[in-house]
Amino acid sequence: MTQAFRIENGGLINRDKKLSFKFNGKTYFGYEGDTLASALLANGVHLVGRSFKYHRPRGFFGAGVDEPYAVVQLYRNGETEPNIKATEQELFEGLEAKSVNCWPSVNFDIGAINNFLKIFLPAGFYYKTFMWPKSFWYRIYEPFIRKAAGLGVASTKHDKERYEHKYEYCDLLIAGSGPSGLAGAYAAAKNGAKVILAEDKPRFGGSLLTSDVNIGNQSGKDWAEGIIAELKTMPNVVVKNRSQIFGYYDHNMLVMSEKVSDHLPSTKKYHPNKRLWYIRAKEVLISSGSIERPIVFGNNDTPGVMLSSAAKEYLKVYGVLVGRKPLVFTNNDSGYETAIEFKKYGVDPVVLDSRKKPESEIIDEAKNLGINIKNSYVVVAAQGYKKVKSADIASISEDKKQLGKIENIQCDCICVSGFWTPTIHLASQSGNKTKFKEEIDAFVPGQSKQNEITLGAANGVFSLEETLKTSFKAGSELSKKITENNNEITIPNVVEKKSSQHDKFWCVPLPKGKNYKRFLDFQNDVAVSDVEIALREGYRSIEHVKRYTTLGMATDQGKTSNLNGLQLVSEIENKVVPAVGHTTFRPPYTPVSIGAIVGREVGKHSKPTRKSPMHSWHEINNAVFVDAGVWLRPRYYKRGNENLFEASKREAKNVRTNVGVCDVTTLGKIDVKGPDAAEFLNRVYTNAWLKLPVGKARYGVMLREDGIVMDDGTTTRISENHYHMTTTTAQAANVLSHLEYYLQLVWPELNVNVVSTTEQWAGAAIAGPKSRDLLQKLFPNSDVSNGGLPFMGYMEEDLFGVKARIFRISFSGELAYEVNVESDYGNFMWEKIMEVGKEFNIQPYGTEALSTLRIEMGHVAGSELDGRTIPYDNALEGLVSKKKDFIGKRSLQRSAFTAEDRQRVVGVVPLDKKTSIPEGSHLVKDDKAPLPNPKLGHISASCWSVEYDNPFSLAILKDGKNMIGQKLFAMSPLKNKVIPVEIVSSHYVDPKGERVRS
């Protein structure tokens, strides 16, 4: 294929590097430095997609971030990404892209039938039509909408690209590298300020790349290059291209998305695809420029109709002619600049100017070049289906209401300019209340809200001289405040052509008898008639009109449509535009990849993985791990072909008959120290703590102020003023914050300090009838007899030369001990226990066996202490002191908490003694009762009792105290099970608790 629309010389592309790419399966060629859009236009391809609602043919409308049409599905290095603007995507060798919104192909699109049935698709169509009949929704409407809607397809594969986050601080952050951004950056950098200059395009310079101006004695483009080169050499300046600042958040925090790899065929090794920058700036200069706005006329969505600034950019930056017979339709001087560029390359444009008799240097130049100019003329409608073939034009009366005789003029593109709209998104996001500027028919930033200043075209200033002057000054002054340097900058001489006043004209009236679609929002297919309907149906607020018609709600966020929409509403409502007000600008300014927002926090990296010091031993010994909060814990140790059920049963049984060892390092541990520690614990826990002797442990329950159980665990008095508190694995962090809250804010008079020691100690629970024999062999010189180390006793002993803490506490309900050593000796301890325990048939056991053991003993844990239960519900009321006050005590007097039939923990056994009851099952009286069947309680934890060899569960049951012996049904609609059950005591095994004391 030849690049028939590429001019021979000119542009900023690298003609030495030819690139091949595919669009809709067909191979084309472009150059390095092209965008996908410029390369397609060079090949004469204007049809890139179909519109969202009517499936009308769509081409290119802009040349950058404002593009509403040319959204494609991109294929790169085996991956696919939707919602890519062809005008932003840089060309690389092997790029592949496809049109979206068209089936079976862009040239023959079945959905285009909507175009002829458009009576069905006016504003509010979705709200009105899909409401009835209700049964149609799933069968007809939804599948239809799903097929027809959307801008591409998301990949269903795991994204193998990497995304990074970066936090940065700077004195001055500058959004946009046009004349204003460059001047501001240069002046601030010269004063030694830390500057970040961000440009969303690959090339720096903004409007200077395409405008015909001189700064100093250089062209604008050369001046920009010189400034950028100098900034890059300065150590206090970061210059970033391909980087879009898309959000202005609280306290001068801005977020920028840097496209690191999207312009390359594949991401380089160790490089991210994108990098998200969180930038906290002392000052912000918004130099985001402006976007040309269209004039609305009939069939203005036909491929070949585009912004005049885009046509100029394709020519000057990419060396591409968007047409050979261009028609320029303008209400200001910008259209002439485009026409002059065409003329310079030997193409003869026709200019239609809605103004009667404009005069300026630019217009004079166009006249001198012999360009055909028609004043008081407008385009009434574009003609042609897949591409502009001609235009219906007419003269227009001074009041812009009457059209003259319609003439048809041959053309292959229509370049339209309706003047300029400042890009005020960032300023508005900062909280700045924008104001309407009459002279330019657009909104500009008002009073600064955060530390931001908006200059240049973004502030509605279109004179280069004025922009440079204010921006150099702002850069100097903002940086001077911070660095206290004040280097004088000489402002260079500027040569620019003066332009004349634009015409306040934005929409061509319909000729008699014609019903052309005149589009406002090109991406969402919102036409003038849709807004008229919305207003006729009573929508008044611009926010409501927006939602009803979807005006400005597409992925381009109405960059080219919002103002014309406002003009229309204000005209129909007979209000001025500022009274109509504009809709809120919300971040992001442009679509941002979800991957970039998520960053590295994906999968296993979404939270830290914590491992005990014995982790590698568990791995070597076939442990199957389970996530317990952020910890990895052995769930069971697999032997041969065992499954979870078999292995956990074996491990639990061995604890009941011999001895087992369990890694309990993950339990939260908090050191509580200070002369008032006992008093503090007495306020934190529900039971009494003042008389606990040194060398003893006690089980405690703590409540929240609302009376709900927060956590439980044992706390041991290590010495006079030193307690070792344990918490559950899951609540460790919350309990620490809770204790700190009371010590710092509520009772600062207590002399107590708390600190987490979870990671300082490795813990092993040794449980089973033979655990004392094992302990004696581990500590041969210590008295670990029932008298020497009684239940809830504590001692510090020597484990083969390592200092060890021994607690006689039990979670399994068996005779049991917990041994702690400093973490570095954890593995040593574990190996010693296994080695010495061999003669007692020791086996390690995981969390599954641990659960079995505690459930059949009726020990409550996280599944019962679920943030909804009070001590009574867990049969822990015996631990609630009547004598002293403590956190949450007053709440226990609430009537619901003292009700006679209050819920309470019970045991549940299936009548057939065979069927395991799924956790979460509801307990009901009558399994045949009509829905909703009244729920009496729920199964909180289930196990296979190794003591009785049948299933056993715990449940929280209404009036549980009086339900023992009752027969109920456990129902699990999720598992489709109905199980007849009997309610028994929650203490299924050893109800008197003799074993732990033996």
Partner 1 sequence: MLYINCPHCGMRSQNEFSYGGDASVKRPELNKEVSDQEWDNFVYNRKSLRGKHLELWQHISGCRQWIKVERDTTTHEIFRTFKADEEVA
DSSP line for 957-987: ETTGGG-TT-EEEEEETTTTEEEEEEEE-S-
Per 3-state DSSP, the chain is made up of helix, strand and coil in percentages (nearest 5) of 30, 30, 45
> Which residues in the 140-179 window bind partner 1 by CB under 8 A?
167
Distance of closest approach, residue 253 Cβ to partner 1, in angstroms? 5
* Closest-CA residue to 151 (of 587, 520, 519, 523): 523
In sequence order, the β-bridge partners of residue 381 are: 298, 392
745 is an interface residue for partner 1 by CB under 8 A: yes
Interaction pattern, residues 950-979, with partner 1; x per rule: CB under 8 A? ------------------------------
Single-letter code of the amino acid located at 44: G
In contact, 777 and 802? CB cutoff 8 Å: no
Q: Where are the beta strands (DSSP E) in 112-181?
A: 163-175
601 is an interface residue for partner 1 by CB under 8 A: no
447 is an interface residue for partner 1 by CB under 8 A: no
Q: How far apart are the first and last CA of the chain?
A: 91
**Total number of residues that touch partner 1 (CB under 8 A):** 23
897 is an interface residue for partner 1 by CB under 8 A: no
Q: Which of 140, 145, 694, 746 binds partner 1 (CB under 8 A)?
A: 746
Distance of closest approach, residue 622 Cβ to partner 1, in angstroms? 37
CA distance 229 to 56: 45
Tokens of 649: 């049963």
- Spell out the residues 6+ positions from residue 28 whose beta carbon is closer than 8 angstroms to its own: 1, 20, 21, 22, 39, 40, 43, 45
Where helices occur in 194-268 by DSSP H, the ranges are 220-232
Angle at 785 between CA 783 and CA 788, to 5 degrees: 60
759 is an interface residue for partner 1 by CB under 8 A: no
* Closest-CA residue to 348 (of 417, 407, 410): 410
Nearer to partner 1, 234 or 688 (CB): 688
741 is an interface residue for partner 1 by CB under 8 A: yes
840 is an interface residue for partner 1 by CB under 8 A: no
Q: Which of 147, 890, 935, 967 binds partner 1 (CB under 8 A)?
A: 890
Single-letter code of the amino acid located at 197: L
Distance of closest approach, residue 704 Cβ to partner 1, in angstroms? 9
Across 283-312, b (16+ Cβ under 10 Å) vs e yields bbbbbbbbbbbbbbbbbbbbbbbbbbbbbb
Distance of closest approach, residue 745 Cβ to partner 1, in angstroms? 5
Nearer to partner 1, 545 or 887 (CB): 887
Q: Which of 121, 148, 234, 253 binds partner 1 (CB under 8 A)?
A: 253
Angle at 221 between CA 217 and CA 223, to 5 degrees: 45
250 is an interface residue for partner 1 by CB under 8 A: yes
Distance from the Cα of residue 567 to its chain's centroid: 34
Q: Which stretch binds partner 1 (CB under 8 A): 243-251, 559-567, 590-598, 655-663?
A: 243-251
Distance of closest approach, residue 431 Cβ to partner 1, in angstroms? 7
Q: Which of 233, 641, 744, 781 binds partner 1 (CB under 8 A)?
A: 744
Distance of closest approach, residue 690 Cβ to partner 1, in angstroms? 14
93 is an interface residue for partner 1 by CB under 8 A: no
> Which residues in the 266-305 window bind partner 1 by CB under 8 A?
278, 280
> Which residues in the 668-727 window bind partner 1 by CB under 8 A?
683, 705-706
935 is an interface residue for partner 1 by CB under 8 A: no
Q: Which stretch binds partner 1 (CB under 8 A): 220-228, 250-258, 407-415, 510-518?
A: 250-258
827 is an interface residue for partner 1 by CB under 8 A: no
488 is an interface residue for partner 1 by CB under 8 A: no
Nearer to partner 1, 252 or 500 (CB): 252
Q: Which stretch binds partner 1 (CB under 8 A): 344-352, 485-493, 596-604, 741-749?
A: 741-749
CA distance 736 to 670: 7
Nearer to partner 1, 620 or 745 (CB): 745
Q: Which of 75, 249, 385, 699 binds partner 1 (CB under 8 A)?
A: 249
Where helices occur in 355-411 by DSSP H, the ranges are 361-368
In sequence order, the β-bridge partners of residue 391 are: 382, 409
Q: Which stretch binds partner 1 (CB under 8 A): 120-128, 312-320, 511-519, 738-746?
A: 738-746
740 is an interface residue for partner 1 by CB under 8 A: yes
Relative orientation angle of helices 179-190 and 220-232, to the nearest 10 degrees: 40
The length of the chain is 998
In contact, 953 and 855? CB cutoff 8 Å: yes
251 is an interface residue for partner 1 by CB under 8 A: yes
Cα-Cα-Cα-Cα torsion 774, 780, 784, 788, nearest 10 degrees, comes to 170
Q: Which stretch binds partner 1 (CB under 8 A): 131-139, 195-203, 238-246, 883-891?
A: 883-891
Provide the binding-site residues for partner 1, judged by CB under 8 A.
167, 249-253, 278, 280, 431, 683, 705-706, 737, 740-741, 744-746, 748, 884-885, 890-891
